[in-house]
């Protein structure tokens, strides 16, 4: 119940295209769903996050779509750029569920944007 499943494992997109990464969770108690971007040799950096009371959140070229009934959420990167090439992790936590607030990560997607 603590798992977050992420797909695809890797993704190649042409410059200017749309990158789409999908995640699914099981624990309905999760109430915070962030996406992290990680470059080689760096720690994960928060990209965008959503809570289950909204179905979509957009920040610049990055959009999270959230489907509470299906227990799925996805990251869309519009107008993908070579600088977006990185590993992307979805995650989930019970942000208001108690003291532990553990962040459960998906397995990661390696995105390569070709020029």
Partner 1 sequence: DAMVIQNPRYQVTQFGKPVTLSCSQTLNHNVMYWYQQKSSQAPKLLFHYYDKDFNNEADTPDNFQSRRPNTSFCFLDIRSPGLGDAAMYLCATKQGRGNGYTFGSGTRLTVV
Pair type for strands 10-14 and 109-114: parallel
| Given 7, 49, 71, 85, the residue binding partner 1 (CB under 8 A) | 49
Question: Which CB, 15 or 102, lies closer to partner 1?
Answer: 102
Nearer to partner 1, 20 or 103 (CB): 103
* Subset of residues 6 to 25 that bind partner 1, contact rule: CB under 8 A: none
Contacts of 99 (CB under 8 A, 6+ apart): none
| Residue 58: C-alpha distances to residues 7, 16, 28 (Å) | 21, 18, 23
> What gap in Å lies between CA 45 and CA 79, rounded to an integer?
20
> Does the footprint of partner 1 cover residue 115 (CB under 8 A)?
no
Distance in Å, CB of 16 to partner 1, minimum? 27
Query: What is the spatial distance between Cα 18 and Cα 13, in angstroms, rounded to a whole number?
Result: 7
- Which residues from 80-109 bind partner 1, rule CB under 8 A? 89, 95-96, 99-103, 105-108
The two structure tokens encoding residue 80: 């993908």
Q: Which chain residues interact with partner 1 by CB under 8 A?
A: 34, 36, 41-46, 49, 89, 95-96, 99-103, 105-108, 110
């Amino acid at each position: 119940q603590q798992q977050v499943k992420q797909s695809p494992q890797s993704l190649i997109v042409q410059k200017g295209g749309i990158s789409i990464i999908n995640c699914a969770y099981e624990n309905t108690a999760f109430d915070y769903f962030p996406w992290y971007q990680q470059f080689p040799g760096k720690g994960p950096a928060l990209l965008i996050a959503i809570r289950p009371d909204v179905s979509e959140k957009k920040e610049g070229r990055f959009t999270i779509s959230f489907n509470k009934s299906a227990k799925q959420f996805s990251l869309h990167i519009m107008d993908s750029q070579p600088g977006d090439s990185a590993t992307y992790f979805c995650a989930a936590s019970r942000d208001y569920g108690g003291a532990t607030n553990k962040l459960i990560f998906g397995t990661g997607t390696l995105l390569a944007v070709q020029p």
